[in-house]
Amino acid sequence: MPGKRLQGIFTPNMVPLDGRGRIHEEELRRLVEWLIEKGVTGIYPNGSTGEFTRFSFEERKEIVRIVADQARGRVPILAGAAEANIDMVLEACRYYADLGCTAAAICGPYYYKLSEASVEEYFAELARRSPLDIVLYNIPQFSNEISIPTVVRLCDFPRIVGIKDSSRDMPRFLNLMNQVQPRRPDFSCLIGTEEMLMPALIMGADGGTIASSGVVPEVVMKLYRLTLEGRWEEARKIQFGLLDLINAMLFDIEFPEGFRVGVSLRGFQMGQSRQKLSPRSQCDVERVRHHIHCLLSEHGVVEEPPEGCALPGRPQPSGITEEQVRAIVQAVVAKLRQEGRV
């Protein structure tokens, strides 16, 4: 039977990789432990920030196994189960249920465009067969949208216990809550866009899956607590203060490289993504690293970089040539090889 209502901040954790691009289990366990110690409400493995598409099905199951084993029931686990077909989704749900996970987050079918009726039937079939509670994951940028009328009908299934909305559409989220909550008061509405966390909480959201909570968990949790306590002026300052950091990590370089930089600056060995970056993109990572470092220092979670943070605001375009980019990349790679990281 469905468990208790999902509330709070769930962290879509990144996955550290070793020098050969494999899951770095020891570092992943250390990251999970750190997040729990910093007070996040729950962990959300296999989310977008966790690069779930870049791992195999067996690796995704292994990631959840490690996270759940390290958490040992201290926080709820919302396990991403966005697989390519319904049988694999159900296999994942059964496995995650055996691990003691709280619920599975499942987006609409992706790649092929489906009708609203087919999306509804997909989730209805999952609700009838899954041994684990389901949180709908609406991310229309990458999968079939789960429309508000569809969510309203699906909330009649007890196994479907909530929704994570990453549409970046605040009016849609408010209309969703307005239509679903009177019909199903225990249905959890989680925002997946951190720029809207405080407004969503004020309007009655249950919490969110917040990527920046994997980098500055103490700051995001403080924002969450202050908002719930009605200390809105203090919360407002933190919400606005997070915007520069969020924008730098999310938009200044290819996603989710900014978050990898952020987590590494908090002291974790994240390794390199399995997605190879162009020389220009690698140069951008190095350029933005200093900016993110300065923003983290402004939040008081790391020391200011040795070279200082004299220039306020976003980093300026480098304006360097492709030859200079290649030279910088070669120097960076040589240093990484010297350190045994590649």
Residues designated catalytic: 137, 164
Closest CA to 64 of 22, 30, 18, 98: 98
Tally the C-alpha atoms within 13 A of residue 10's C-alpha that lie toward its C-beta: 33
Question: In which order are the strands placed within the sheet that holds 133-138?
Answer: 42-43, 8-11, 207-209, 188-191, 160-165, 133-138, 103-107, 78-80
Are 130 and 93 within 8 A, CB to CB? Answer: yes
Enumerate helices (H) and strands (E) in the chain, giving the number of each.
Answer: 12, 8
C-alpha separations of 143 from 107, 120, 305 in Å: 7, 14, 40
Q: What is the DSSP string of 280-330?
A: HHHHHHHHHHHHHHHHHHHTTSSPPPTT---S-SSPPP----HHHHHHHHH
Q: How many CB atoms lie within 10 A of CB 315?
A: 16
Are 287 and 318 within 8 A, CB to CB? Answer: yes
| β-strand partners of 165 | 138, 191
C-alpha separations of 7 from 190, 252, 293 in Å: 8, 31, 30
Read off the tokens for 206.
């249950």
Helices (H), 76-115: 86-98
Helices (H), 130-278: 148-154, 170-180, 197-202, 217-228, 232-251, 257-265
